[in-house]
Chains A and B, each alone.
Chain A
């Protein structure tokens, strides 16, 4: 059943892994006692483990190919059942209602700690959905998305510090400022494409961070801005736990609004233009789409959501400093979009929850958690390269005899 060639390859994989993990798994240096211990048995475990895993993966792929080969003839059109659920309103509505109820009950079912983590995860959901407009739908690879997040956070922090502006006033201002910065960046940059755009946006993200870090008079530098007021609720003073719940509900509300807006945008004239722009820019222009304008709208809308979440972030932590807005943050948000499935709203939501909650719940693995996290990401990308849930385009139905579906 198993050809020798495959066995050889697996053997090679296991040797390679043993070699790769040699420094961390085998050598152990004790700097105090000045002893180096060589744990050779670990190497054997790694070798055996990777050998078995590689064979298992191969079996999976062989089977998958065989299944695809035999099924091709009869069932081309079987969609995955996830897509069927998402397409049919009679499944989708009860499901989203159930999810929403769960989300509302969440703070009462779980501890304040859990609620706090969930709030963070939901903030990333919004960030992911915002970036999804730019990367997933319009196909503009933006590696500096966190810059807009920083703009939102700092605009609330600074406005609050200098002018005592309330959270509710700062929220639209933060969003609009971020969108404005998005347009500013967009004008010179959007003629670039693909890799070049990615590099420039990456640089832009770093510029914003460095400015915040070094312009002490403006942003108080690396020490950041503390004592930002929490969001108020008609002037009522809230206890600490109540304010955690309050922010949680606020974020849930924002998530709902974001899903609604992004969904509508995607199935609109604008959404179609974005998709077309992702597919073929020249054809797009030849069909009468203003490339610059359409891209700018995508860019500034994406930035707008980042700004909103930035304001909430500042209000939630009551403290901002440039360390929260590193490139890693951009990378995580981008992974959320890619992992979840480009352009798919449900995919991005799942992606954000997995990526943010997984490291939290992997804390049980203590020092290996980031390793496990990385491994899970790699495995997911091997088995579902198009993301957790790929995007479903809306379909149109026409009655047979007549010209129009609507009249």
Chain B
């Protein structure tokens, strides 16, 4: 197998006296869909926040390797926007769209880190800025088309349906040109049809060369999509493997169903 594009070793996060993450090791390879599951409060979202720079981990190493250039970078303590620039983008569990901006503008924000115009360009609109702006609009529209929101470009984000808002979050993250996409509970609150559409969308994104790490509670989605699964409980990684392996792992069953159940 090729070298991992994301290598997390020994990641630990303390909040005061509480150890939210305890020496977690994870690695993700190119083109994989990897799921991170675990009961509520297991530390999954904390893990995401550490990866994306919202929290600075107390200990451990996070290393990102660009699949094309092979350039390695250590992400510990880096600012979130720098990490996004390196090629890892995320969505949020509780939707964090820019509610009062249009759908297209939301995606255009994602292009921010791949474009450069500043005050001068904004005021004088020189050819370079105009070209860049056109490219931003074009690419954003293409991405919206991919997630099926191209008919609502001028709609305000807050007026979209719940499922559409989730897809818009994915579109916005895609606009930053990531090679690794982190999805935090993308199917939360979706009905079965929407989940089905989401599964297809994630497959499509993956087939275009993005690797995906997702947190999810919907087991149908997790089992049908993932190449590998990591299971966490009380801040520790308790199991890992293919969906079949994880499904029959006694530690996982114990974490989900409790002590006294015979599997």
Q: Point out residues on A near B: beta carbons under 8 Å.
A: 261, 264-265, 268-273, 275-276, 279-280, 282-291, 297, 301, 393, 395-396, 398, 403-406
Query: Which of A269, A270, A280, A282: most chain B CB closer than 10 A?
Result: A269
Q: Is the CB of A269 within 8 A of B81?
A: no
Q: Is the CB of B109 within 8 A of A404?
A: no
Instruction: Report the minimal beta-carbon distance from A275 to chain B, rounded to whole angstroms.
Output: 6
Bound: A286/B136 CA distance, A = 18
Whether a CB of chain A sits under 8 angstroms from the CB of B123 is yes
Instruction: Report the minimal beta-carbon distance from B45 to chain A, rounded to whole angstroms.
Output: 13
Taken residue by residue from 106 to 145, chain B's Cβ proximity to chain A (1 for < 8 Å, 0 otherwise) reads as 0011101111011101110100010011101110011001
What are the 5 closest A-B residue pairs judged by CB atoms, nearest first?
A: A288-B113, A268-B122, A288-B84, A283-B96, A279-B98
Bound: A158/B209 CA distance, A = 62
**B92 partner residues in chain A, CB cutoff 8 A:** 282-283, 286
Bound: A289/B116 CA distance, A = 11
Q: A286: which of B90, B104, B123 is its contact (CB, 8 Å)?
A: B90
Q: B117: which of A268, A276, A286, A301 is its contact (CB, 8 Å)?
A: A268
Q: B138: which of A261, A284, A286, A406 is its contact (CB, 8 Å)?
A: A406
Bound: A403/B132 CA distance, A = 16
Q: A285: which of B81, B110, B154 is its contact (CB, 8 Å)?
A: B81
Q: Is the CB of A279 within 8 A of B100?
A: yes
Known: A285-B80, A287-B112, A291-B81. 12 other contacts (CB 8 A): A269-B118, A269-B122, A280-B97, A280-B98, A285-B54, A286-B84, A287-B84, A288-B84, A288-B176, A393-B102, A403-B141, A403-B145
Q: B96: which of A282, A297, A403 is its contact (CB, 8 Å)?
A: A282
Q: B134: which of A272, A282, A406 is its contact (CB, 8 Å)?
A: A406
**A284 partner residues in chain B, CB cutoff 8 A:** 98, 109
Q: Is the CB of A404 within 8 A of B118?
A: no
**A280 partner residues in chain B, CB cutoff 8 A:** 96-99
Query: Which of B53, B54, B100, B133: most chain A CB closer than 10 A?
Result: B100
Bound: A279/B109 CA distance, A = 12
Bound: A261/B81 CA distance, A = 27
Q: B98: which of A271, A283, A290, A291 is its contact (CB, 8 Å)?
A: A283
Q: Is the CB of B172 within 8 A of A398?
A: no
Bound: A75/B109 CA distance, A = 31
**Total number of A-B contacts with CB less than 8 angstroms?**
130
* Interface range on chain B (Cβ under 8 Å from partner): 35 or more
Name 20 A/B residue pairs within 8 A (Cβ), A-sorted. Answer: A268-B133, A269-B115, A269-B118, A269-B122, A270-B117, A271-B122, A275-B101, A279-B100, A280-B99, A283-B96, A285-B53, A285-B80, A286-B54, A286-B81, A287-B81, A287-B109, A289-B109, A289-B113, A395-B154, A406-B137
Q: B172: which of A264, A269, A287 is its contact (CB, 8 Å)?
A: A287
Q: A288: which of B85, B125, B132 is its contact (CB, 8 Å)?
A: B85
Q: Name the residue on B nearest A297 (C-beta).
A: B119
Instruction: Report the minimal beta-carbon distance from A144 to chain B, rounded to whole angstroms.
Output: 23
Bound: A273/B118 CA distance, A = 11
Q: Name the residue on A nearest B138 (C-beta).
A: A404
**B81 partner residues in chain A, CB cutoff 8 A:** 285-291
Q: Is the CB of B101 within 8 A of A276?
A: yes
Instruction: Report the minimal beta-carbon distance from B176 to chain A, rounded to whole angstroms.
Output: 5
Bound: A258/B173 CA distance, A = 34
Contacts A269-B133, A272-B105, A404-B138 given: A287-B99 contact, CB under 8 Å?
A: no
Q: Is the CB of B80 within 8 A of A272?
A: no
Q: Is the CB of B153 within 8 A of A287?
A: no
**B122 partner residues in chain A, CB cutoff 8 A:** 264-265, 268-271
Instruction: Report the minimal beta-carbon distance from B156 to chain A, rounded to whole angstroms.
Output: 8
Bound: A64/B121 CA distance, A = 45
Q: Name the residue on A nearest B144 (C-beta).
A: A398
Whether a CB of chain A sits under 8 angstroms from the CB of B220 is no
Q: Is the CB of B110 within 8 A of A287?
A: yes
Q: Name the residue on B nearest A273 (C-beta).
A: B112
**B138 partner residues in chain A, CB cutoff 8 A:** 403-406
Q: Is the CB of B117 within 8 A of A396?
A: no
Q: Is the CB of A265 within 8 A of B101?
A: no
Taken residue by residue from 36 to 55, chain B's Cβ proximity to chain A (1 for < 8 Å, 0 otherwise) reads as 00000000000000001110
**B72 partner residues in chain A, CB cutoff 8 A:** none
Q: B97: which of A264, A283, A285 is its contact (CB, 8 Å)?
A: A283
**B142 partner residues in chain A, CB cutoff 8 A:** 403
Q: Is the CB of B112 within 8 A of A269?
A: yes
**A272 partner residues in chain B, CB cutoff 8 A:** 101, 105, 108-109, 112
Bound: A406/B133 CA distance, A = 11
Q: Name the residue on A nearest B91 (C-beta).
A: A286
Whether a CB of chain A sits under 8 angstroms from the CB of B247 is no
Q: Is the CB of A268 within 8 A of B121?
A: yes
Bound: A284/B53 CA distance, A = 13
Q: Is the CB of A396 within 8 A of B96?
A: no
Instruction: Report the minimal beta-carbon distance from A72 to chain B, rounded to whole angstroms.
Output: 14
Bound: A122/B252 CA distance, A = 69
Query: Which of B53, B114, B129, B137: most chain A CB closer than 10 A?
Result: B137
